[in-house]
Amino acid sequence: MIYLLLSVLSSSVIFVIFKLYNRFGVNTLQAIIFNYFIAFSAGMIIDDQPLDLQRIPGETWFPGTVILGFLFIAVFYLAALTTQRSGLSVVSVATKMSVAIPVLFGIFLYNESTGFIKVIGIILALVAVYLTSIKKKEGIAIRKRNLIFPLLVFFGSGIIDTTLKYLETTYVAEVDVALFSSTIFAIAGCIGSAILLFQGIRGTLKVNFKNILGGIALGIPNFFSIYFLVMALRSEGVESSVIFPLNNVAIVMVSTFLGLLLFKERMLTKNWIGILLAVISIILIATT
């Protein structure tokens, strides 16, 4: 479980960095694109194997990393659109509730257990994510014409986690976990660079140092959030239908408390109820 804990902590640091982006006016798209190259570099540093970029396209997992790299950029763009049209809470709910997709994938494809206590724990985890993510008393409201965007974020986020699980189980050797994770970020960075190049051709690109600095700060925890999640999925005796809900609900809990302590965010009654349900769900899932 140590890898799962480290993944949760890394993802929670990402939350803090994103909050600081707003405070210091960092261009999120540019910082995220720069972060992909920092994440790639972090993976190369911890990889014990000699660097051989020529062999990467020949790896059986390489086509999957291309898909994931594209999804990283696409889901980010869709999340930005959803935030603009429906609010940050809608994005948070859509992203975290997508855990249902890899959980169902693990149960039906890998015949993972579905005991009563585990099912109750997963349902409570989903309810906890929803209640903790809602920051307005009136809840969330989505216009029909904007419904497609959170749905795409939901499915995109779920497909990312599901694809990670499938590739990790089927193709990725343990010695290649760092290289596999790094390659995803490298491909996402190349796709993102193409976007920046297009903006530069149009004359709309403005790069400043704080965006680069923001990418550097984000890159290291971003890499380790994926690396440690993949390592957690490789842990013997722990099913992915346990790992994914524990990961998501723990990230929501830790991020909520960090927001409360560091940014003085206001907690609603429903948020506290969500935290309580999150604790109960963790206990139920972890003991199955």
Query: Could you tell me where the beta strands, DSSP code E, fall in 16-62?
Result: none
Mean pLDDT of 192-199: 92
At residue 92, the pLDDT reads 80
Residue 40 has pLDDT above 90, yes or no: yes
At residue 53, the pLDDT reads 79
At residue 141, the pLDDT reads 63
CA-based nearest residue to 16, from 257, 270, 267, 279: 257
Confidence of residue 238 (pLDDT cuts 50, 70, 90): confident
The ranges assigned to domains in the chain are 2-286
Residue 178 has pLDDT above 90, yes or no: yes
Mean pLDDT of 142-157: 85
pLDDT (tens digit, 9 = 90+) per residue, 107-127?
Answer: 888 888 888 899 999 999 999
Residue 64 has pLDDT above 90, yes or no: yes
At residue 139, the pLDDT reads 63
Confidence of residue 142 (pLDDT cuts 50, 70, 90): low
Residue 165 has pLDDT above 70, yes or no: yes
pLDDT (tens digit, 9 = 90+) per residue, 67-108?
Answer: 999 999 999 888 878 877 777 677 788 888 898 999 999 988
At residue 144, the pLDDT reads 73
197/143: higher pLDDT: 197
At residue 146, the pLDDT reads 75
Model's pTM, two decimal places? 0.89
* Crossing angle of the two packed helices 209-233 and 240-262, in degrees rounded to 10: 140
Q: What is the dihedral of CA 82, 254, 42, 156, to 10 degrees?
A: -30
* Structural tokens at position 163: 């694809």
* Crossing angle of the two packed helices 148-170 and 62-86, in degrees rounded to 10: 160
